[in-house]
Amino acid sequence: MSADAVRFSEERLAEIDALVKRYPGPQSALMPVLYMAQEDFGYISMEAQKMVAQVLGLRLMQVREVVTFYTMFREQPCGKYLLEVCTNAGCMLNGAYELADHMCNSLGIKMGETTRDGMFTIAEVECAGACGGAPVVQVNNIYHEKATPELMDALITQVRADGGAA
């Protein structure tokens, strides 16, 4: 992504202005603004971090500290579909590792990797807070509870058939 592509739109900037007013200090708006950057640009590049720092009047280091602390902020691009398999206790006890292995096989990649077509990234995550529906897989943050190999395969096939639309 070229440096000048990393700019918030006017609407975004207006949104940010309104957002900042909801907090006692502008730094509080940093996390929401980083989400916006991630949504708009796919990931949060160094250029984007510099821009966010400038928009909020923060130092680059203040932004870097936050981006690197939280796992949901990505400094690298990932697949169009991010499959996050919870393997923590509740899910582990209900077959999460077997499910994860199965999904890796179906996708032909290892945990943490992205398919060559850039469609899927698979990652192992910590407790999703839905252990009652273990095992849990999040697809772009949408929860799929009581996930089974069959359901996941169906989802993967569906996405591939649609060519990634939707």
Partner 1 sequence: MTSLFINDQEVDVAPGTSILEACRENGAEVPYFCYHPELSVAANCRMCLVEVEGWAKPAASCCTPVSEGMKVKTQTESLAKDREMVMEYLLIHHPLDCPVCDQGGSCKLQDYAVEHGASKGRYAEHKRASVNYELGPFVNTCMTRCIHCTRCVRFADEVAGTGDIGILNRSDHMNIAGIVEEALESELSGNLPDICPVGALLDKPSHDVSRPWEMSHHKSTCTQCPNGCDISIESRGDEVMRIRPIEHSPEPWICDRGRYVYDAFRSDNRILKPTMRRDGGGLVEASWDEAFEQVITLLKDKRVGILFSPDWSIEGQMAIRLMRDALFPDAKVAYGLHRRDMRTFAFEEGFSMTTAQIEAADQVVVLGSDLRQRLPLLMQRLRKRGRAGKPVSRIGAMNYRTNMDINNDALVRPRDWPAVIARAMEQVREVGKTAAGFDSWMAAVSDRHEAGKVLADALMADSCALLVGEEIRAHEDAAALIHGLDLLMRACGHAESDNDGRNLIPEGMNRQVLSATHGDVRASAGDIFAAASAGDLDALIVIGSDPVGDGVFPSAAKAALAKVPLIQIGSISGEMAEYASVQLPAAAYSEVEGTFVNMEGRIRIASNPIKSLGQERPLWKVMMRMIQVMGAEVPVVNLDELRAAVVERLPELAGAWAGGATDTVLIKPRRNRDVSIAPAARSDSFELDVVSRYSMYREGMWARASKLLTEAGRIHALDDVLVHPETLAAKGLSVGEHKVRTFLGENTYHIGVREDVSPGVLFVGKRGVAGDLSDVSGASIEGGAA
Partner 2 sequence: MISSDPKQVKQICFDNIDVPGMHTLSVARKNGAYAFLPTVLKDFDSGKIIDEVKTSGLRGRGGAGFPTGLKWSFVPRNTGKPTYLLCNADEGEPGTFKDRDIMRFDPHLLIEGMIMAGFALDVQDAYIYIRGEFLHETNVMNAAIAEAYEANLLGDNILGSGYSMDLTVHRGAGAYICGEETALIESLEGKAGRPRFKPPFPAVEGFYGCPTVVNNVETLATVPAILEFGGQWHASIGVPNNAGCKVFSVSGHVNKPGNYEVPLGTSLKTLIEDYCGGLQHGTVPKVIIPGGSSTPWLTAEHYETPLTYDDLMKAGSFLGSGAIIVMDETADLVALTHRLAHFYAHESCGQCTPCREGTGWLERIMKRVEKGQGNAEDVTVLGEAATHMAGRTICALAEGAAAPVLSLLKYFPEDVQARLAEKS
* Interface of this chain with partner 1, residues 64 to 123, rule: CB under 8 A: 64-65, 68-69
| 111 makes contact with partner 2 (CB under 8 A) | no
Give the binding range for partner 1 (CB under 8 A) out of 20-28, 63-71, 115-123, 141-149. 63-71
Of residues 3, 5, 13, 89, which one binds partner 2 by CB under 8 A? 89
| 54 makes contact with partner 1 (CB under 8 A) | no
- In whole angstroms, give the CA distance from residue 138 to residue 14: 31
Q: Residue 145 is encoded by which pair of tokens? A: 């509870």
User: What are phi and psi for residue 141, nearest 5 degrees?
Assistant: 70, 5
Cα dist from 140 to 76, 78, 153, whole Å:
16, 11, 16
Measured over the CA atoms of residue 87, residue 111, residue 121 and residue 41, the dihedral's sign is positive
Q: Give the residues lining the site for partner 2 (CB under 8 A).
A: 22-32, 34-35, 58, 62, 65-66, 69-73, 87-90, 92-94, 125-134, 138, 141-143
